[in-house]
Amino acid sequence: MKIAILDRDTISKDGDISLEPFRELGELSVFSATAPHETVEHIGSAQAVLCNKVMITADIMEQCPQLEYIGLFATGFNNVDIAYAARKGITVCNAGSYSANAVAQQTFAYILDHFSRIRDYDRLVKNGEWERSPTFSMLTLPTAELEGKTLAVVGLGSIGSRVAELGKAFGMKIIAVTNRPKPDCPYETADIITAAKQADVLTLHCPLTDRTRGMVNMKLLSVMKSSAILINTSRGGTVCEEDLAHALSSGMIAGAYLDVLEKEPMSPETPLKNAKNCVITPHTSWAALETRERLVRIVHNCLMSWQNGTPINKVN
């Protein structure tokens, strides 16, 4: 079997993650990256393709008649035409819940940064303001405890559930926004507008679908507290960037922490680049070393299971 890995550099930095185990499963071709015009050529006659963010459209699949399997180095699968793959009999498998701990950890790094003001106080200290302080403790910037704050979690999959667990441990009130509430769900559930009205923190952990695309828009932002913050570690397309930039510049909400944008790498034209109180990280919440090692193990296991006739983590 021929196997093609299309975007190695999204998984492994300077070889810190080995992809050699895939050679046990077939004849392996590895590409550091794949531009759209190179996709058909790089897939070639491979029966199995592994990728992270390369677009696998209906047209690409039509031009690659040998293709039988698409394995994703990701939880999201919006870069693959799932319906067309199903019609063509091409199995698509994702990596499931590999990044729950890492993404939840970064979500709380954002939350703690906002409420504890660590970066801001460090900046004051480095500027010499503590040296000039008349008291031993500076009270220049307001901080707050998480206890009693309301954490609205949009999406209660593996990541959202982990975020909710951590929030509960901090004594936060959890409101879950989910399309499929379980009968034994331990949290209050609500629609997104109701949750946004109550939230001190609104955090997104949902897939990008027709239903979620642009759901954070002026209508939603206008009902949030002026003291609330938005966190997005899901997909950039869930947020209308112009609306969020306006909400931040006008003080409609207190801040935003974003690990994803609608266009990645970030476009210089994004209205959020210089938005007030907006912290942007370059899609790194999932990228801890241990997380990427786990990811490769899962993708390897998915491909091996499919080869053995018992596919796991199918999304189509």
Report the alpha-carbon angle 193-199-203, nearest 5: 85
283 belongs to the catalytic site? yes
User: What is the C-alpha to C-alpha distance for residues 63 and 60, in angstroms, rounded to an integer?
Assistant: 5
Catalytic residue among 38, 41, 145, 264: 264
The two three-digit tokens of residue 258, written as one number: 């974003």
DSSP 164: H
Catalytic residue among 8, 114, 205, 283: 283
- Strands (DSSP E) along 133-193, which ranges? 150-154, 173-177, 188-189
Ramachandran bin of 128, using left for φ above 0, alpha for ψ from -120 to 50, beta for the remaining angles: left
Catalytic residue among 235, 241, 262, 292: 235
Contact 242, 215 (CB under 8 A): no
Residue type, 291: T
The two three-digit tokens of residue 287, written as one number: 């990228």
User: What is the C-alpha to C-alpha distance for residues 288 and 35, in angstroms, rounded to an integer?
Assistant: 25
Active site residues: 235, 264, 283
